[in-house]
């Protein structure tokens, strides 16, 4: 499909993956979402800008494009979103504390059709002017949109700061098993393509974050879901060693997203979201490896009723897992399994 017809491309992908959600029609001068979180990198500002939806849009369990537009959003509107974000009192009051920023548009920041370069440059300028403690900028993207010359230019901008910051790429991997990842979930990510990108990340000295999902599809037992993450950690550990890359796994327990085939499986009683203890059991495998782990604990308000991975009585587990995110103390995960 030609990039000149992005709407047709997005709608065809929705039809292909049997997605029924609608796209957002919010104010194009306001970001889609933003929040603060705490990780071992310090205070993190996670921002999701409102842009044209992800043009891949085939991942079966994903309804993040429902937070996006079916129409292009201009670079002028995106610049207004950026300035709106930095002007919010609850954001501007903490900019001096922020040590990491994760930049997302629920798709690919490096897809210039959805996120124009002019807007990206404006965001980089605001980071350098307004975030004195920034140490890491994370950019979410599909690998096929990465242009290494552009990455090098962005890295140079971050090094011009009084306190230089580093670049991190963030890509969705979702599942390690090839059948689950590409045939059932329809991620469209072959290992060969991932490893080619990883080699370039290592060559340039960048870091890499890989998003994985615990139990992303129906028909997968809880034990099999945990095993898949264990295999992923082993693989990433080998890759980190081979390419000399600082590598993080961002592990999200799957929620049942509205307007997706997974929601239909859930309604038929064929799928149960993962349990937080299984999340801890999966992440514990990273102890002693070169892979750090961040546990996603936010469904972004996109889960169907009863389809979240957080259940009544999980409050103490949630707080423990948040603590693990801050200090990578695997003893916390072991204690979670004994509760």
Residue 36 has pLDDT above 90, yes or no: yes
Residue 311 structural domain: 6-338
pLDDT for the residue 301:
86
* pTM for this entry: 0.95
The verdict on residue 109 lying in a domain is yes
**Counting beta carbons within 10 angstroms of the beta carbon of residue 204, is it exposed (0 to 12), middle (13 to 18) or buried (19 or more)?**
middle
**For residues 72-106, b (16+ Cβ closer than 10 Å) or e, as one string?**
ebebebbbbbbeebbeeeebeeebeebbbbbbbbb
Give bridge partners of residue 69 from the DSSP assignment: 52
The verdict on residue 1 lying in a domain is no
Average pLDDT over residues 277-300: 96
Residue 3 has pLDDT above 80, yes or no: no
Average pLDDT over residues 32-61: 96
Average pLDDT over residues 126-133: 97
Average pLDDT over residues 269-291: 98
The verdict on residue 69 lying in a domain is yes
Query: The domain that contains 112 carries what CATH number?
Result: 3.20.20.70
Per residue in 140-183, pLDDT tens?
999 999 999 999 999 999 999 989 999 999 999 999 999 999 99
Which token pair is 257?
Answer: 């997203």
pLDDT for the residue 4:
63
The candidate with the shortest Cα–Cα distance to 255, out of 230, 274, 227, is 274
The verdict on residue 261 lying in a domain is yes
Rounded to whole angstroms, how far apart are CA atoms 235 and 230? Answer: 9
Q: What is the DSSP letter of 54?
A: P
The terminus-to-terminus CA distance of the chain in angstroms comes to 51
Cα-Cα-Cα-Cα torsion 312, 316, 317, 319, nearest 10 degrees, comes to 120
* Percentage above 70 pLDDT, the chain: 99
Average pLDDT over residues 232-257: 97
Rounded to whole angstroms, how far apart are CA atoms 140 and 118? Answer: 17
Torsion angles phi and psi, residue 113, rounded to 5: -70, -35
The verdict on residue 106 lying in a domain is yes
The bridge status of strand 166-174 relative to strand 136-140 is parallel
User: Which residue has 């929705």 as its token pair?
Assistant: 14
The verdict on residue 117 lying in a domain is yes
Domain count, the chain: 1
């Amino acid at each position: 499909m030609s990039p000149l017809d992005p709407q047709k491309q997005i709608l065809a992908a929705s039809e292909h993956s049997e997605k029924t959600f609608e796209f957002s029609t919010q104010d194009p001068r306001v970001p889609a979402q933003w929040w603060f979180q705490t990780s071992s990198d310090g205070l993190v500002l996670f921002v999701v800008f409102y842009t044209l939806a992800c043009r891949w849009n085939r991942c079966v369990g994903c309804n993040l494009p429902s937070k996006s537009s079916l129409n292009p959003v201009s670079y002028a509107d995106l610049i207004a979103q950026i300035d709106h974000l930095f002007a919010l009192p609850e954001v501007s009051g903490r900019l001096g504390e922020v040590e990491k920023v994760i930049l997302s548009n629920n798709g690919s920041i490096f897809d210039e059709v959805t996120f124009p370069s002019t807007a990206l440059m404006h965001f980089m300028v605001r980071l350098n002017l307004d975030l004195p403690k920034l140490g890491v900028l994370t950019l979410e993207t599909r690998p096929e949109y990465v242009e290494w010359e552009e990455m090098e230019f962005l890295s140079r901008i971050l090094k011009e700061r009084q306190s230089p910051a580093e670049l991190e790429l963030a890509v969705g991997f979702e599942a390690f098993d090839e059948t689950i990842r590409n045939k059932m979930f329809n991620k469209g990510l072959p290992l060969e393509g991932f490893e080619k990108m990883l080699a370039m990340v290592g060559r340039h000295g960048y870091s890499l974050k890989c998003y994985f999902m615990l139990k992303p599809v129906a028909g997968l037992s809880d034990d099999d879901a945990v095993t898949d993450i264990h295999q992923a950690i082993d693989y990433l550990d080998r890759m980190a060693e081979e390419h000399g890359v600082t590598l993080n796994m961002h592990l999200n327990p799957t929620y049942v997203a509205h307007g997706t085939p997974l929601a239909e499986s859930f309604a038929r009683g064929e799928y149960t979201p993962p349990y937080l203890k299984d999340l801890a059991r999966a992440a514990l495998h990273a102890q002693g490896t070169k892979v750090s782990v961040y546990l996603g604990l936010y469904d972004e308000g996109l889960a169907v009723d009863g389809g979240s991975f957080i259940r009544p009585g999980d409050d103490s587990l949630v707080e423990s897992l948040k603590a693990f995110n801050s200090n990578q103390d695997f003893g916390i995960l072991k204690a979670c399994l004994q509760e």
